[in-house]
């Protein structure tokens, strides 16, 4: 697969940060960890990966702005381009020795996501997408799954935990969805959830209380694999609402409908 120059810059940054995370993952018990909030940890590995990504992207495209999980907003001379970066999506998995975590890098141009990279260094799976150019995993073209009935589907989700999300509302949604599908999965990395939807490994996904860096690359990945992504109202305000629903056209529509149902006795 031929990659554009900009995608090569992103892949190089992700791979370099991935090597750093892999080394730290092998010594996960020795990491110094600090509290950032209830149930939300940030480690030395997280910060180191972000420094690597920032340095590589800034060298490759000087002047571009950044929106990063740890550093927040970093202004740039070029106000048309912005990198959106999560250096370690799935920090809790990482710190518990669970090999389901990822690096997520997206490029936003004039408000549109035009390129995305999601990399799981533990499994050496590299997901890439460019607007209009399709989505790939390790150079294999991706397509969303073709199932059209919720009863045949495995759906991914993000479960709210201590200090995050509205637990009561989520339990209503979960009860409605679990009564319609063949399985529900919770990976612990929204970026990988969306990559798995793009790859057809999961048929759909929903979550809320997310940040732009959690989903920016994944939104493009799903769309370039032929899927649909929206907020829970069917709109395009994922960054503002923090909520996301994804799947192929039929499953996306069915999930939106199911999530809005009131709880019924079963």
Helix (H, G, I), strand (E, B) or coil at 151: helix
- State residue 36's pLDDT score: 62
- pLDDT exceeds 80 at position 1: no
- State residue 38's pLDDT score: 47
CA distance 207 to 200: 18
In terms of Cβ atoms closer than 10 Å to its own Cβ (0-12, 13-18, 19+), residue 73 is: exposed
256 is in an annotated binding site: no
- State residue 34's pLDDT score: 67
Residue 244 neighbours by CB under 8 Å, 6+ apart: 190, 194, 205, 206, 207, 208, 210, 215, 219, 229, 230, 231, 232, 238
- Helices 190-198 and 212-224 sit at what angle, rounded to 10 degrees? 0
Which tokens go with 119? Answer: 């990399």
- State residue 96's pLDDT score: 85
- State residue 44's pLDDT score: 87
Confidence category of residue 255, pLDDT binned at 50, 70, 90: very high
Q: Lowest mean pLDDT of 82-91, 121-130, 163-172, 224-233, name the range.
A: 163-172
Rounded to an integer, the average pLDDT of 236-245 is: 97
Select from 192, 134, 194 the least CA-distant residue to 3.
Answer: 134
- State residue 60's pLDDT score: 97
CA distance 33 to 88: 14
pLDDT, tens only, 19-64 = 999 998 888 766 666 666 544 556 888 999 999 999 999 999 999 9
pLDDT, tens only, 60-112 = 999 999 999 989 999 999 989 999 999 999 998 998 889 999 999 999 999 99
231 is in an annotated binding site: no
CATH of domain 150-259: 3.40.190.80
CA distance 44 to 91: 11
In the chain, CATH 3.40.190.80 covers 150-259
- State residue 220's pLDDT score: 98
Which tokens go with 246? Answer: 């994804």
Please name the residue that has the structure tokens 């799935």: 90
What pTM does this model have?
0.94
In terms of Cβ atoms closer than 10 Å to its own Cβ (0-12, 13-18, 19+), residue 63 is: exposed
pLDDT, tens only, 118-153 = 999 999 999 999 999 999 999 899 999 999 999 999
214 is in an annotated binding site: yes
Confidence category of residue 217, pLDDT binned at 50, 70, 90: very high
Q: Which CATH superfamily is domain 5-141 in?
A: Fructose-1,6-Bisphosphatase, subunit A, domain 1 (3.30.540.10)
Residue 154 neighbours by CB under 8 Å, 6+ apart: 181, 182, 183, 184, 185, 202, 203
Helix (H, G, I), strand (E, B) or coil at 137: strand
pLDDT, tens only, 199-213 = 999 999 999 999 999
In the chain, CATH 3.30.540.10 covers 5-141
């Amino acid at each position: 697969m031929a990659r554009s120059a900009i995608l090569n810059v992103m892949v190089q940054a992700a791979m370099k940060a991935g090597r750093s995370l892999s080394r730290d993952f092998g010594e996960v018990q020795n990491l110094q960890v600090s509290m950032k909030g209830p149930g939300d940890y940030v480690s030395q590995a997280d910060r180191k990966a972000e420094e690597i990504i920032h340095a590589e992207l800034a060298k490759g495209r000087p002047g571009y702005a950044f929106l990063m999980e740890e550093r927040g907003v970093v202004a740039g001379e070029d106000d048309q381009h912005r990198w959106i970066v999560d250096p370690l999506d799935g920090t809790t998995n990482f710190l518990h020795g669970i090999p389901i975590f990822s690096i997520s890098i997206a490029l936003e141009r004039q408000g549109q996501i035009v390129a995305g990279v999601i990399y799981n260094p533990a499994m050496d799976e590299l997901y890439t997408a460019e607007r209009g150019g399709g989505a790939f995993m390790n150079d294999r073209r991706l397509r969303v799954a073709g199932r059209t009935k919720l009863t045949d589907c495995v759906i991914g989700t993000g479960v709210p935990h201590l200090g995050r999300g509205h637990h009561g509302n989520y339990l209503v949604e979960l009860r409605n969805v679990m009564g319609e599908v063949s399985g529900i999965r919770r990976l612990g990395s929204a970026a990988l959830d969306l990559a798995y939807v793009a790859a057809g490994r999961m048929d759909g996904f929903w979550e809320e209380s997310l940040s732009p860096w959690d989903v920016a690359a994944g939104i493009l990945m799903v769309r370039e694999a032929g899927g649909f992504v929206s907020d829970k109202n069917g709109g395009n305000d994922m960054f503002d609402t923090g909520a996301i629903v994804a799947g192929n056209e039929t499953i996306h529509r069915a999930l939106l409908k199911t999530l809005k149902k009131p709880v019924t006795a079963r």
